[in-house]
Amino acid sequence: MSYHHQFTGRTEGIHPTAPLRCRRLDGLIGAFWEAEGEAGGRGYYLSANPRISIFFSDVSSIRVAERKGAVRRTGRPMARAFYVPAGTPMWTSFTSPLSFSHLDIHLNPQKMVNLLAPSLGRAAALGILRRPAEVEKTCGLERLAQLMVDEVTMPEHHDLYAESLAASLVTGVLDLRERRTQRAEGRLTRAQMRRIITTFEAGGGRRLTVAEMAEAVGLSESWFSRVFRNTAGMTPLQWQSRQRIDLAKTLLGEGERSISEIADRLGFSDQAHLTRVFHQVEGETPAAWRRAHQIG
């Protein structure tokens, strides 16, 4: 199957420590990188095709975000293994110097649909491939990834062997087992909750609709509302009210904005609206809360 690699990468303060090694296979390209990043180093990456990355050391000192300008403000620690859908941008920033190596597998989308559809159905496969995924426990994946690196750097087996390794890595990073467990138990995964939090924070505290929250994790609105309540112990709108009031308290404590300005900053219709929601959550008005928490 033909594969056209369309990838954009721009970096500052990140330098390769060895030549890039690549291997082109049926519907994918495997690439092994060794590099180092300076404190304050940063990168921007965008691919027309989906890809997975598996890192061979701790990379939590790298912050990552999907929106320009958000990486320093709301960026989260980079996971050791993750999947990036086609057309999804990624910005990174190094908080401290780091030497690292990682395996990237750039994928033909149709090849991935053909891999997943026999077990999951075409619609489910397409939905999964549209959603980012992260994996926290990577021990098994790292062993497979090292075998794949061996095949990229010093091929010893038939292409089918390397392609089978790549398929195992893809399905491991997508974590299909966790998705089945999540649906059976009616709960959101940790990765899905992180995605919701990131989407909410990217909006600067303005309220999202339930449909927008559901879309962020690729679920139907009705199913999302059910599993969100099972996970968070409250409805999506109640959870957002709690988050927005926490942001309001931070702004009130800073003392630089009026209550009216804070209401506008967080997307409330007016000061009275903020006051009403604040009182429902905290049991007092924003003005009373500010007076009680003023320093000096």
Percentage of the chain modeled with pLDDT above 90: 49
Residues 49-75 pLDDT 10s: 999 999 999 999 999 888 777 777 667
CATH fold of the domain at 7-174: Jelly Rolls (2.60.120)
Is residue 2's pLDDT more than 50? no
Task: Please tell me the pTM assigned to this model.
Answer: 0.63
Judge if 7-174 and 238-292 fold alike in CATH terms.
Answer: no
User: Is the torsion defined by CA of 100, 37, 59, 9 positive or negative?
Assistant: negative
Give the mean pLDDT of the chain.
Answer: 87
Q: What CATH superfamily is the domain 238-292?
A: Homeodomain-like (1.10.10.60)
Nearest to 105 by CA among 172, 162, 29: 29
Task: Tell whether the model's pLDDT for residue 185 goes beyond 60.
Answer: no
The pLDDT assigned to 5 comes to 64
DSSP 39-102: EEEEEEEEESS-EEEEESS--TTEEEESSTT-HHHH-EEPPSEEEE-TT--EEEEESS-EEEEE
Largest separation between any pair of C-alpha atoms in the chain = 73
Residue ranges covered by each domain of the chain? 7-174, 183-233, 238-292
Q: How far apart are CA 21 and CA 137, in angstroms?
A: 26
Instruction: Quick: pLDDT tens for 200-220.
Output: 888 888 888 998 888 888 777
The per-residue pLDDT for 181 is 47
Q: What is the mean pLDDT of residues 245-271?
A: 89
